[in-house]
Amino acid sequence: MSKTVHQRRPPASVAVAVDLVIFTVRDGRLQVLLIERGNTPYRGQAALPGGFVRDGETLDATARRELREETGVSADSLHLEQLRAYSEPDRDPRGRIITIAYLAIGPDLPMPQAGTDASAAHWTPVSPILDRQIALAFDHEEILRDGLERARSQLEHTTIATAFCREPFTIADLRQIYEAVWGVPLDPSNFRRKVLKTKGFVKPIGERRLPDIGRPAALFHRGLAEILTPPLMRSGTASISREEM
Amino acid sequence: MSKTVHQRRPPASVAVAVDLVIFTVRDGRLQVLLIERGNTPYRGQAALPGGFVRDGETLDATARRELREETGVSADSLHLEQLRAYSEPDRDPRGRIITIAYLAIGPDLPMPQAGTDASAAHWTPVSPILDRQIALAFDHEEILRDGLERARSQLEHTTIATAFCREPFTIADLRQIYEAVWGVPLDPSNFRRKVLKTKGFVKPIGERRLPDIGRPAALFHRGLAEILTPPLMRSGTASISREEM
DNA sequence: ACAAAAGTGTTTCAGATACACCCATGT
DNA sequence: ACATGGGTGTATCTGAAACACTTTTGT
């Protein structure tokens, strides 16, 4: 009768979790929020913050809740987007746990806060993790790499770079975000032109910031645009994956 | 003792499913594979093919298995990538079901095959769905829209367009894929130059195809490259999301 | 006066676009 | 011969990149 055989089979229930890749730029370096695990497995090792989905809760709500619990900051002021699901059956020794990773981006936050869950959290530069000098629990290194690649890509095509900045910010602040996340130096004058030419990227507020040294810089707020057209390319002539012929 | 409170709470088990957005180009139009639902809810209505994850199975494996069951074609020859998770608590009247959507792309396949699950499946042009002339079950219209946007984006940045073509193919075949998915006409001469200039996109096989009318066209296989550098842009000067100032 | 960073102007060059034109085939 | 689509050549224009140069502050 029914042709949809796949619907008849009783669904296997699995535990579903959310893990967060929370990025910020501190001291000119890209950093990620990690917690030190208090329980087995991977006790004492660094891991991405996360937790299980609750009944009646969307994954976005889980991510926002965990973000608040881990950082003490409401997610309203942060950029939050879904990365993807990780489902290797043996990715967690405790059993079958599928996790949906989220990418969160915010300005250099006042962290951690004692007396909250966030007290186990700490900002860690991303480079030593990529270089395997710091090991992460579970498959969190892979998730981190995917999150970094997403963040780098989003800098090209969207205005999320402003989510890294505390308002108001200068064009140089914004440029340093790109330099930290992409890991390449950018020409200040050309960068400035590209940002100002893109309508809706930033909005001048008519004030200036006095630096310790040098000429005062104009201050800006985020604009309303979310998509960069045209994209702000990282290294115009990159390499292709493979050759042939 | 433990600071990771979120790990202590017993995980709520939920049913996890995979839904597939399977695209192809037939008759110069983008089409999607839909099944007619045999059971409630949404009995008799069109829906994306999909099914529940089984024990010990990755989501990719679930997607490949469903693809094989629904289309009778092994997923080896198809492009398959994860889209994202959909988790609204009331998205399925039967209960809490989180679904992870996948995007699949293949050439115009011999479908459907009688005597298999695929007999309930049929190719449907995408346009009338977007125009709300055909309603899909559950939140599948949203999933379809997201899949389409991903496919359009991937055409810009990767070589998946070749996954729509049966080998060998001509440059014009490839161009018609872009025109069908993006919904815009492209200049044949400039398109040809861009494709041939991108090393690893296509590989000439030195033969020609005789069309019903006109000059024979050179035939190609897929190249080894997967990333297009530089991207093949759709409409150089698009519009931004909002204005201001 | 000098250092340092912000901001402007200008030259150069690569690539996209538009379109004229030639080529190879069937009828 | 002509229609049709494949394929090439080329003039023009836009925008990115590089970098010289000017401006505005603190010391």
Rounded distance, CA A74 to CA A76, Å?
Answer: 5
pLDDT of residue B235: 62
Measured CA distances, A228 to A202, B78, B147, B189 (Å): 11, 31, 21, 28
| Per-residue pLDDT reduced to its tens digit, A143-183 | 999 999 999 999 999 999 999 999 999 999 999 999 999 99
Look at residue B67 and give its three-state secondary structure: helix
Does the CB of B215 sit below 7 A from strand D?
Answer: yes
Give the CATH architecture of domain B16-156. Answer: Alpha-Beta Complex (3.90)
Q: From the CA of A240, how many Å to the nearest CA of chain B? A: 6
pLDDT of residue A111: 67
Distance of CA B104 to the CA centre of its chain: 4
Question: Are B14 and A17 a contacting pair at CB < 8 A?
Answer: no
pLDDT of residue A212: 83
Out of 3.40.50.620, 3.40.250.10, 3.30.70.2740, 3.90.79.10, which CATH number does the structure's domain A15-145 have?
3.90.79.10
pLDDT of residue A39: 86
Q: From the CA of A83, how many Å to the nearest CA of chain B? A: 8
The full set of domain ranges for chain B reads: 16-156, 159-222
CATH code given to domain A157-222: 1.10.10.10
**Which residue has 């790499």 as its token pair?**
A145
Q: Name the residue of chain B whose CA is nearest to A60's CA.
A: B87
What's the predicted TM-score (pTM) here? 0.91
Fold of B159-222: Arc Repressor Mutant, subunit A (1.10.10)
Which bases of chain D are under 7 A from a protein CB atom?
Answer: 3-9, 15-20, 23-27
Neighbours of A179 (CB within 10 A): 16
Rounded distance, CA B157 to CA B176, Å?
Answer: 17
The string of DSSP letters for B79-99 reads EEEEEEEE--TTSSTTS-EEE
Residues 200-229/A with CB within 7 Å of nucleic chain D are: 208, 210, 212-216
- Minimal CA–CA distance to A217: which of A183, A188, A180, A194? A188
Measured CA distances, B217 to B45, B160, B203 (Å): 42, 21, 14
B189: which nucleotide lies closest, measuring CA to C1'? D7
| Per-residue pLDDT reduced to its tens digit, B38-77 | 888 999 999 999 999 999 999 999 999 999 888 777 777 7
Phi, psi at A155, each rounded to 5°: -60, -35
| Per-residue pLDDT reduced to its tens digit, A56-111 | 999 999 999 999 888 777 777 799 999 999 999 999 999 999 999 999 999 987 76
A208: which nucleotide lies closest, measuring CA to C1'? C6
Distance of CA A235 to the CA centre of its chain: 21
